[in-house]
Amino acid sequence: MDPYDPIWKSYFTPSELLEISSYKSKALEDFPEDLSIYLNSYDKEWESAVDLYNFADGHRHDLIKESERKWIKESILGVSALFLDDEAIALTDFSESDLLHSVWRFIYRAFFSSPVKAMLGERCSVAVAMGRNEDRSLEDLEKRERKSVGSKVDILFKAGVHELGSREAEKSNIVPIDDKYLNDGLMKLPKTLRDMLSMLVEVNPEKTNSLVTVGFLLMGLEMEVIFMDVPVGHSIARVSKSHKFGFPVSHSTITIDFIPLLEITWKGKKMMERTILALNDRKRKAATMMLPAGVVNEATLSFSFVRSRFKQVQHKNSVYMSR
C-alpha cells in the first residue's frame, strides 16, 4: 500500500493515512558524528565551483579506512566539475546515460566498499521474473506458457544472490500527474520492490517485519528514495518515501542542494546493509519435507499483482465457459 497515492484520500482520513505511514516505520540511520563534521566542512558559500573543486581536491583519504569520506570527496569533485564554466545544467545536453554517469554517478559509487553491490546496465530482476512466473509448471492439455522475463531496471542492488533494491530513471523533468511518474513511480518501482521483498521473506520469514527494500526514483534532476516494508503481519507491504531532492542547477546552490542528496543516498545504502544483517540473523533451517503445491504458507509474502496473469485467467475461464 502506498499511503501517498491520492486514491486513498477517498477511503481514509488524513489522520488515518498518517498513522498508516508512521506505524512501526523504519528509522533512517543517522550520520556518524565524524562523517557529519566532514560533510559539513563543504557547507560554505563558495565564490565559484573552482574554489569548491580545489578545496575538495586538497583532501587525501585512505581508500579502505576512509572509503565514505573518499566517496563524499569524489562526489563533490564530480558535481563541481559540471559547473566549472559557471553555466546552469540543461537536460537537453544530457542523454540518459550521461545523467547516470555524470549527474547521478555518486549513487552507485556510494556502494564501492559496501557488501551491497550496484549492478549497472539494464538488468532483469530475478524477483520480478519469479513473481511473473509463479504459476508456471508442466503443461497438461494446453501448451506451456512462455516464461516471462523480469522488469528491466537501470541499476540493481544486490548482496550475493539477494536483490535489495533498484533504480528507475527518466531523463525529463516530470510531475506526479504525468504518465511516466504514475507508471514508474507508483507501479513499476513499488511492484519491483515488493517482489524483491517477497523473496527476502522466503529466506527469513521470522524477520518479515524487519526487512526493507530500497528504490531510487530519478526524474530529470530530481530524486526521491522509496522504501518497501511489511510493518506488521505478513500480507500487506507499505511504501514509504523521502522528500524530493533536486540536483543543483547552478554553482551557487551546489552545497545547498547536493549535500542532502549525499545524505539520503548514504541512508538508503545503510538501510540495505541493515536488511542484510536482519536477513542473515536466522535459525538453521529444519530438515523437513516441503509443503505440496497449493498449500498456503502463511509465513510468506505474496508477489505483486501481475496484470497479464489476470488476463490469462480470464482467457482460460472464457475458453472453459464456451465449451
Residue pLDDT, tens place only, 201-248: 999 999 999 999 999 999 888 999 999 999 999 889 999 999 999 999
Per-residue pLDDT of 263-285, as tens digits, reads 999 999 999 999 999 999 988 87
Largest CA distance in the chain: 79
Contact assessment for residue 262 and residue 39, using Cβ atoms and an 8 Å cutoff: yes
Place of cell 509463479: 134
Picking from 160, 96, 146, 86, the residue whose alpha carbon sits closest to that of residue 122 is: 96
Could you tell me the three cell numbers for 316? Answer: 482460460
Residue 159 makes CB contacts below 8 A (sequence gap 6+) with: 115, 116, 117, 272, 276
Per-residue pLDDT of 20-57, as tens digits, reads 999 999 999 999 999 999 999 999 999 899 999 999 99
pTM of the model: 0.83
What percentage of the chain exceeds 90 in pLDDT? 56
Averaged confidence pLDDT in the chain: 83
Higher pLDDT, 311 or 11: 11
Query: What pLDDT score was predicted for residue 3?
Result: 92
